[in-house]
């Protein structure tokens, strides 16, 4: 890699060292090298625990006290940031030459100060601008980042703004001092899909317009590809591949990048009926001590040399990758597609249409009433408004909507956690209100979004999965134990986890436990509320494959609730689009994706990024 | 306790030196043991409590004198350091009862009252708190109103009035102190239950058909465990002091049953000439309450390390 002289930011050998309580030194970030030209945009992509955020914190000198930055060189233009004292860095660089945008706009804005004050303060703090100039600049920038009525907004407080607007304000704030570089750490993760696309487009526009260089840190390679020229893929604390966006997306070299691109479901390509190419295993914990390539356990190309030590970065033209193999070997490699077609699902979809639906919602509404104090005036909020849906046996119905559209309330009503205020929910023609809770439990079971809160932390895995059997008084202690082991092997959980606590397991493993618990009573219907949105992409593919396999083997019916259009296209046979408590469109998945009937559906689909996808998928679309 | 070579993580690291394996995450119990063994306050506190409990249980059997046997001829004998004899190492009181035997019996009373009063309080407080937090709405409003009433009442005064009306005995003292000490349990378990109520494992317990009592018992209560244990130790210290205060004021444990508070009250009259009569039970009380509080603080640090700094 040639060190170009016009580089704005040059980072060499950046590591973060942490001392464990037992005196060991671990490095959650190791030997990160990159260059960023003026006006260039770099996307740093990695799963949770890959060290991407910590690397950025190290760059900004914002590491926690227990961590130490080690680097050979960190320079911004002519300034050497390594030798710059902290106080000087804070005064001259942070916020001036480097602006930062954080993930959670609610917590990164101070709730007690007005937007205007927070914006102008970034300029007036060190007295380099007077209040009037700062105010003019703030108004101008708010206008530019698309905040309507900027003069009104200036006087408002963060809680009066929506999430999207807050993130726009954050962007304006980062731009106040016209920095040379903006670091955005997961800037869109907390936002809805349509807003997410707008924010990324805005960042891309601003970059072209103002010539600001940008580092975009994200776990979502598809989202990042909307706004960057180059990507750097991080895995377990080290960069594994860097290169121009298009070239990395179309011909990934490192086995991890290849797997990562293969395992993401595509929103804009039809589902071919195959499985996703999941990367087996899970993301290593961030505090591992490594004396080998971090990807060893999950790599299909693993060699003896991989264990010898962490490989160095190898360069080839404009691409760099960290692997012991050479370019030809890597380029020639094809991840073996598991020839295990997950049943011809299109045929499942339209069978059994004649009989009565497994689950039917008949103009169901749910209204929340809140009141202040004992005698306060009641305040009504209609979360679900006259929703009617049919779900037939063997179907996979996806309910799609943004946050606040009422989709989770629908799920809660199906599970009996919430009573509908009007309308009826029926199972096989029988009203839910007439079924007792045990009867209902045997028909319908949930899989929740967050595997960290859906398992009682004080219960072992075996206990958690066997709990439904205990509640329903099925079998004795021994037969339950056998049954639990059987279900565990069904969902691909090793039997050694029987006595583990959820705290000892990774997110993907926990989600398998949650699925196993839902299956214990052999229900007909699974309600999956965002089943994979809390998981890493490589793990998401494993869980999606598991759900598809289980559906085929146990003849299950799924009701999936999600905001992720790619997951929907991969999984669902039918889609229902929900907006503000109402269903705006329902239909077979492919019809809805290719010929959306409602304007809102079109808007949702338009927010999906054009897939600069791996070639075989791109070809499949054409 | 840096000298302890134990602590699982260290052993794992030592065992796997050279390999690149990471620290395997520990079970909650292993984690607890590891943290507990490196916490000085907790170790000292539990040491003091264990010593006092053992003394209270077996001490009276080992001392050759009966705590109630009077010996008017040998009354107000000084302890050994004030020129007394080994027959009565801590001297005798104003009716000639062996002071060591009475102190040990007094420890029994203090521990019993403290322990059971804290239990009474925890049952009331945690019960109300779980209901208020889990059900919310009207239930919560009623419980919060009860709490406000309880906080508004002067506790010692009310305890004195109640004991006076019902008539003093150990059971009444335990009951009255317990009934007056449940506000901490309530506040803590209410907010914890409110948080746990929203978690998905409660929703999934309902989805598998568990009844509400089963959810409260199997899902919510176990997760309150650590908070309740911490409050329990703190409240036990308070209850021991309350008992001593009531006894000192004459409405607690009645003579001749020895209670440290009562012994201080009796020794107070001869404070100038036989100071040990008031000082010895005072030291006992001090050591016990300090032990309990150190233990409670230590437990809090060990069970919820996030909130330590």
Is A569:A292 a contact under the CB 8 Å cutoff?
Answer: no
Distance CA B128, CA B149 (A): 14
Domain count for chain B: 1
Looking at the partner chain, which of B21, B23, B200 has a beta carbon nearest the beta carbon of A448? B200
User: What is the residue-averaged pLDDT of chain A?
Assistant: 82
Tens-of-pLDDT digits for all 309 residues of chain B?
Answer: 333 333 333 333 333 333 333 345 666 677 778 777 888 888 999 999 999 999 888 888 888 878 787 777 777 778 888 777 777 778 788 787 888 888 888 888 888 999 999 999 999 999 999 999 999 888 999 999 999 998 898 888 888 888 888 888 888 889 999 988 899 999 999 999 999 988 889 998 988 888 899 999 999 998 888 888 888 988 988 898 888 888 888 888 888 888 888 888 888 888 888 888 888 888 988 999 899 989 988 888 777 654 433
The pLDDT value recorded for residue B22 is: 39
Distance CA B36, CA B48 (A): 16
Residue A19 touches partner B, C-beta closer than 8 Å: no
Residue A234 in 3-state DSSP? strand
Is A141:A172 a contact under the CB 8 Å cutoff?
Answer: yes
Residue B203 touches partner A, C-beta closer than 8 Å: yes
Q: Domains in chain A and their CATH numbers? A: 355-608 (3.40.50.300)
**Would residue B3 count as lying in a domain?**
no
- Angle A196-A197-A200 from CA coordinates, rounded to 5°: 85
Residue A457 touches partner B, C-beta closer than 8 Å: yes
**Would residue B46 count as lying in a domain?**
yes
CA-wise closest residue to A504 among A450, A457, A454, A453: A457
| pLDDT beyond 50 at A433 | yes
In 3-state terms, chain A is what percent helix, strand and coil (to 5)? 35, 25, 40
Question: Are the beta carbons of B22 and A449 separated by less than 8 Å?
Answer: no
Report CA-CA distances (Å) from A555 to A179, A522, B207.
Answer: 57, 10, 20
| Pairing of β A313-316 and β A41-46 | unpaired
**Would residue B248 count as lying in a domain?**
yes
| pLDDT beyond 90 at A91 | no
Residue B199 touches partner A, C-beta closer than 8 Å: yes
The pLDDT value recorded for residue A622 is: 31
Question: Are the beta carbons of B206 and A289 separated by less than 8 Å?
Answer: no
The pLDDT value recorded for residue A517 is: 92
Mind spelling out the 3-state secondary structure of B160-187?
Answer: HHHHHHHCCCHHHHHHHHHHHCCHHHHH
Looking at the partner chain, which of B22, B27, B201 has a beta carbon nearest the beta carbon of A453? B201
**Would residue B19 count as lying in a domain?**
no
**Would residue B17 count as lying in a domain?**
no
**Would residue B21 count as lying in a domain?**
no
Contacts of the segment A505-510: beta carbons below 8 A, 24+ positions apart: A505/A461, A506/A282, A506/A283, A506/A539, A507/A48, A507/A282, A507/A451, A507/A452, A507/A534, A507/A535, A507/A536, A507/A539, A508/A282, A508/A535, A508/A536, A508/A539, A508/A542, A508/A543, A509/A282, A510/A451, A510/A452, A510/A454, A510/A455
Q: Model confidence over A365-421: pLDDT tens digits?
A: 988 877 766 667 777 888 888 889 888 888 899 999 888 788 888 988 888 888 888
**Would residue B135 count as lying in a domain?**
yes
Cβ-Cβ pairs closer than 8 A, A with B, add up to 98
**Residues with Cβ within 8 Å of residue A618, at least 6 apart in sequence:** A250, A269, A611
The pLDDT value recorded for residue B1 is: 34
Q: Model confidence over A235-288: pLDDT tens digits?
A: 888 888 999 988 888 888 888 888 888 887 777 776 656 677 777 777 776 666
Domain that holds residue B79: 29-307
Q: Which of B19, B28, B208 to mutate to test the interface with A (most CBs of A within 10 A)?
A: B208
Q: If you average pLDDT over residues A558-583, what whole number do you get?
A: 89
| Pairing of β A313-316 and β A319-322 | antiparallel
Task: Band the pLDDT of A232: cuts 50, 70, 90.
Answer: very high
Q: What percent of chain A has pLDDT over 70?
A: 89
Q: Model confidence over A316-326: pLDDT tens digits?
A: 667 888 887 87
Looking at the partner chain, which of A287, A456, A501 has a beta carbon nearest the beta carbon of B22? A287
Q: Model confidence over B246-294: pLDDT tens digits?
A: 888 888 888 888 888 888 888 888 888 888 888 888 898 899 989 998 9
The pLDDT value recorded for residue A617 is: 35
| Pairing of β A41-46 and β A213-218 | parallel
Q: Model confidence over A249-262: pLDDT tens digits?
A: 888 888 888 888 88
CATH code of the domain covering residue B56: 1.10.3720.10
The pLDDT value recorded for residue A466 is: 92
Looking at the partner chain, which of B200, B211, B214 has a beta carbon nearest the beta carbon of A453? B200
Residue A498 touches partner B, C-beta closer than 8 Å: no
Distance CA A330, CA A477 (A): 52
Q: Is the pTM of this model over 0.90?
A: no
Q: Model confidence over A434-458: pLDDT tens digits?
A: 888 888 888 889 999 888 888 988 8
So what's the ipTM on this one?
0.75
Residue B275 touches partner A, C-beta closer than 8 Å: no
In chain B, the N- to C-terminal Cα span, in Å, equals 20
**Would residue B263 count as lying in a domain?**
yes
């Amino acid at each position: 890699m040639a060190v170009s002289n016009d580089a704005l930011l040059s980072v060499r050998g950046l590591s973060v060292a942490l001392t464990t309580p037992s005196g060991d030194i671990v490095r959650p970030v190791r030997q990160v090298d990159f260059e960023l030209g003026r006006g260039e945009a770099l996307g740093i992509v990695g799963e949770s625990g890959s060290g991407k955020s910590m690397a950025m914190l190290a760059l900004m000198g914002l590491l926690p006290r227990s961590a130490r930055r080690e680097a050979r060189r960190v320079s911004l233009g002519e300034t050497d940031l390594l030798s710059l004292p902290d106080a000087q860095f804070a005064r001259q660089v942070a916020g001036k030459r480097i602006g930062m945008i954080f993930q959670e706009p609610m917590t990164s804005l101070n709730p007690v100060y007005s937007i205007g004050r927070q914006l102008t303060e970034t300029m007036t703090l060190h007295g380099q601008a007077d209040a009037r100039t700062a105010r003019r600049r703030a108004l101008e920038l708010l206008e530019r980042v698309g905040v309507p009525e900027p003069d009104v907004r200036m006087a408002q407080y963060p809680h009066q703004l929506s999430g999207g607007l807050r993130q726009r304000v954050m962007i304006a704030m980062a731009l106040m001092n016209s920095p040379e570089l903006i670091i955005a750490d997961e800037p869109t993760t907390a936002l809805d899909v349509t807003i997410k696309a707008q924010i990324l487009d805005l960042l891309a526009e601003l970059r072209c317009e103002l010539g600001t260089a940008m580092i975009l840190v994200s776990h979502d390679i598809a989202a990042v590809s909307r706004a960057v020229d180059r990507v750097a893929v991080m895995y377990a604390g080290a960069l594994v591949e860097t290169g121009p966006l298009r070239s990395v997306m179309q011909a990934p070299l490192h086995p991890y990048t290849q797997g990562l691109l293969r395992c993401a479901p595509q929103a804009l390509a039809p589902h071919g009926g195959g499985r996703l190419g999941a990367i087996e295993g899970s993301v290593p914990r961030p505090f591992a001590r490594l004396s080998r390539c971090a990807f060893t356990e999950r790599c299909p190309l693993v060699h003896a040399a991989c264990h010898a030590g962490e490989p160095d970065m190898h360069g080839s033209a404009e691409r760099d990758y960290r692997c012991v193999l050479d370019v030809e070997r890597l380029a020639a490699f094809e991840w073996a597609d598991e020839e295990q077609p997950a049943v011809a699902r299109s045929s499942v979809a339209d069978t059994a249409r004649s009989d009565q639906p497994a689950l039917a919602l008949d103009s169901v509404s749910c209204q929340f009433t809140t009141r202040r104090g004992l005698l306060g005036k009641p305040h009504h909020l209609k979360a679900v408004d006259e929703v009617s849906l049919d779900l037939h046996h063997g179907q996979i119905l996806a309910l799609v909507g943004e946050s606040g559209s009422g989709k989770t309330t629908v799920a809660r009503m199906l599970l009996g956690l919430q009573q509908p205020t009007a309308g009826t929910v029926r199972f096989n023609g029988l009203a839910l209100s007439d079924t007792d809770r045990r009867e209902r439990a045997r028909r319908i079971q949930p899989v929740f979004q967050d595997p960290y809160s859906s398992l009682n932390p004080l219960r072992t895995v075996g206990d958690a999965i066997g709990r439904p059997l205990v509640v329903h008084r099925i079998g004795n202690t021994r037969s339950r134990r056998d049954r639990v082991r059987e279900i565990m092997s069904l969902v691909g959980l090793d039997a050694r986890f029987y006595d583990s606590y959820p705290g000892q397991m990774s997110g993907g493993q926990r989600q398998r436990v949650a699925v196993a618990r839902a299956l214990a009573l052999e229900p007909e219907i699974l309600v999956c509320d965002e089943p994979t949105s809390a998981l890493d992409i490589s793990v998401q593919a494993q869980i999606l494959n598991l759900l598809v396999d289980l559906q085929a083997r146990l003849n299950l019916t799924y009701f999936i609730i999600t905001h992720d259009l790619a997951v929907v296209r991969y999984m669902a046979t039918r889609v229902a689009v929900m907006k503000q408590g109402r269903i705006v469109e329902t239909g077979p998945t492919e019809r809805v994706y290719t010929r959306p009937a409602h304007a809102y559906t079109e808007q949702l689909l338009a927010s999906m990024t054009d897939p600069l996808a791996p070639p075989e998928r791109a070809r499949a679309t054409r | 306790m840096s000298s302890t070579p134990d602590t699982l993580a260290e052993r794992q690291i030592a065992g796997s030196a050279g390999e690149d394996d990471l620290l395997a995450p520990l079970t909650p119990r292993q984690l607890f043991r590891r943290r507990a063994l490196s916490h000085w306050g907790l170790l000292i506190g539990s040491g003091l409590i264990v010593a006092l409990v053992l003394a209270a249980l077996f001490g009276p059997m080992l001392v050759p004198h009966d705590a109630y046997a009077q010996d008017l001829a040998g009354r107000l004998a000084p302890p050994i350091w004030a020129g007394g004899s080994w027959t009565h190492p801590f001297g005798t009181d104003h009716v000639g009862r062996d002071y060591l035997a009475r102190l040990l019996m007094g420890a029994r009373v203090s521990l019993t009252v403290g322990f059971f009063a804290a239990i009474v309080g925890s049952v009331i407080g945690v019960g109300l708190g779980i209901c208020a937090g889990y059900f919310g709405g009207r239930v919560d409003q009623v419980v919060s109103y009860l709490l406000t009433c309880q906080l508004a009442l002067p506790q010692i005064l009310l305890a004195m009035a109640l004991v006076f009306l019902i008539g003093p005995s150990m059971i009444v003292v335990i009951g009255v102190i317990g009934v007056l000490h449940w506000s901490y349990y309530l506040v803590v378990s209410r907010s914890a239950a409110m948080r746990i109520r929203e978690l998905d494992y409660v929703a999934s317990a309902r989805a598998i058909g568990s009844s509400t009592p089963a959810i409260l018992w199997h899902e919510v209560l176990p997760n309150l465990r650590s908070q309740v244990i911490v409050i329990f130790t703190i409240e036990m210290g308070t209850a021991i002091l309350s008992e001593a205060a009531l006894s000192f004021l004459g409405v607690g444990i009645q003579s001749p049953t020895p209670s440290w508070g009562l012994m201080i009250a009796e020794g107070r009259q001869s404070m100038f000439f036989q100071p040990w009569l008031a000082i010895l039970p005072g030291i006992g009380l001090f050591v016990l309450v300090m032990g309990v509080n150190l233990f409670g603080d230590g437990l809090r640090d060990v069970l919820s390390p996030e909130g330590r700094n």
